[in-house]
Structure 1
Amino acid sequence: MSVSPNPDRALQARIGPGALVAVCGPSGAGKDSLLRRVQERNNDAAWIVFPRRTVTRLVSDFEEHDTATPEEFDRTLASGGFAFWWDAHGLKYGLAASIDEDIRAGRCVMCNVSRTVIPGLRHKYSHVVAVLVTAPQDVLQARLAARGRATDGDLSQRMARSAKVSDNLDVDLVIENTGSIDDGARQLLDALESRLTSTLKI
């Protein structure tokens, strides 16, 4: 993501008044499961939006997203169709440009992102809540092994990457996702309400 070299100009250009809740964490931490439960509990809430990511990978039971070929992804990117994007593990991930309009309308957008884009998101949006979802290494390993997804690559390499996720990561909330999904969803919603009540019409 590009960032303006002029801090004052960047501050004026930040998108608001809504908020972006950027959920990140190691593979196997249960980020998508947590977001699904929060969405289920807020289906009728007009103030919160759960956009689907576009990924250059086939849809699986462990991750909900829209699929694009690398060529389709690049065409969408070139036409300005993504608010932001990143690549990881040989794949490309993007969030639709329409989320910027949701944030301009004062809504809260919640999405699963790579930790690498969080600094850029803080420059682009006025209100960013970065949430780290994590779990002990043995729990992560068991969850990844249960997936058996070939496109995930070597399990030992993914575990090594997962161990580094929290290094130098500036987050606002940490959820250790070892209890029930309802417990994790409650932690996340309580934190958002306390942080965003004065910003959004919750």
Structure 2
Amino acid sequence: MTAESGILWYVIGPSGAGKDSLLAYARGRLPAESGVMFAHRYITRPADAGGENHVALSAEEFDARERRGCFALAWRRHGLAYGLGVETAMWLEQGLDVVVNGSRAMLPRAAEHFATLRPLWITASPEVLAARLAGRGRESAEAIARRLGESAGFAPPPGCVELVNDGRLEDAGERLLALLAKAD
């Protein structure tokens, strides 16, 4: 890694906090010459499943890419496989800042792998999380309750920047844009 390596903004938080919406908000407003890249995740979830803009892979495709070293980081959660492509490390080495939608459980491993990682904790109140999860229509009431219980057990790690997304998307989105702009 060079002295000019970019910052890896590792976005984490509970399901329903609005991570995907905030990332889409920022991505749509940052100029191409900003030096900020938004990495796609590779996920074994259909492309039309809703939520984040990701690269959909079958389980077999994911496993083959993982075996061949195509991921800088890979993990499994909630019955799906997730990966960050090796392009993430390449962009950082080129001095670009990179924003990724990470995993809370993978934060320690990601911090070991990416020296310039800055964790960004997106959160919302339990009531807002519950309403958003129910509104997605992707999970049963039991699965939502399980996710809410799990999220209550997580707290922002030390040194983590926290962004509360309880209100209007524009409010939290502008705070995210300000954070990314100050990274220079």
Instruction: Give the TM-score normalised by structure 2.
Output: 0.90
Give the gaps of 5 or more residues in structure 1: 1-12, 198-202
| Shift, 1:121, TM fit | 2.1
- The equivalent residue for 1:99 is 88
- Secondary structure class of the residue paired with 1:129: strand
Q: C-alpha separation between the residues in 2 aligned to 1:178 and 1:45? A: 30
The match for 1:143 among 132, 136, 140 is: 132
- Matched residue count: 183
- The equivalent residue for 1:18 is 6
- Distance change >3 Å, CA 103–CA 152, structure 1 → 2: farther
Query: Aligned letter for 1:107?
Result: L
- Secondary structure class of the residue paired with 2:83: strand
- Whether the aligned pair in 1 keeps the contact of 2:134 and 2:141 (CA below 8 Å) is no
Q: C-alpha separation between the residues in 1 aligned to 2:3 and 2:127? A: 39
Q: C-alpha separation between the residues in 1 aligned to 2:55 and 2:94? A: 24
Runs of 4+ in 1 over 3 A off after TM superposition: 13-16, 150-153
Structure 1, residues 78-121: CA drift from partner, whole Å, max 9, x if none? Answer: 00100101111111100111111100000011011101222222
Structure 1, residues 146-198: CA drift from partner, whole Å, max 9, x if none? Answer: 1111499722111111212326x23421111012222212212322333x22x
Q: C-alpha separation between the residues in 2 aligned to 1:162 and 1:15? A: 36
State yes or no: 1:119 paired with 2:108.
yes
State yes or no: 1:179 paired with 2:170.
no
- Whether the aligned pair in 1 keeps the contact of 2:12 and 2:122 (CA below 8 Å) is yes
- The equivalent residue for 2:38 is 50
Give the gaps of 5 or more residues in structure 2: none
- Whether the aligned pair in 2 keeps the contact of 1:47 and 1:107 (CA below 8 Å) is yes
- Whether the aligned pair in 2 keeps the contact of 1:132 and 1:171 (CA below 8 Å) is no
Structure 1, residues 49-99: CA drift from partner, whole Å, max 9, x if none? Answer: 011111111132322211111111010000010010111111110011111
Q: C-alpha separation between the residues in 1 aligned to 2:93 and 2:158? A: 24
Q: C-alpha separation between the residues in 1 aligned to 2:128 and 2:96? A: 34
- The equivalent residue for 1:29 is 17
State yes or no: 1:86 paired with 2:82.
no
Q: C-alpha separation between the residues in 1 aligned to 2:108 and 2:4? A: 17
Q: C-alpha separation between the residues in 2 aligned to 1:54 and 1:155? A: 24
- The equivalent residue for 1:3 is none
- Distance change >3 Å, CA 152–CA 82, structure 1 → 2: farther
Query: Aligned letter for 2:165?
Result: N
Q: C-alpha separation between the residues in 2 aligned to 1:164 and 1:178? A: 19
| Shift, 1:19, TM fit | 1.2
| Shift, 1:145, TM fit | 0.6
Query: Aligned letter for 2:59?
Result: P
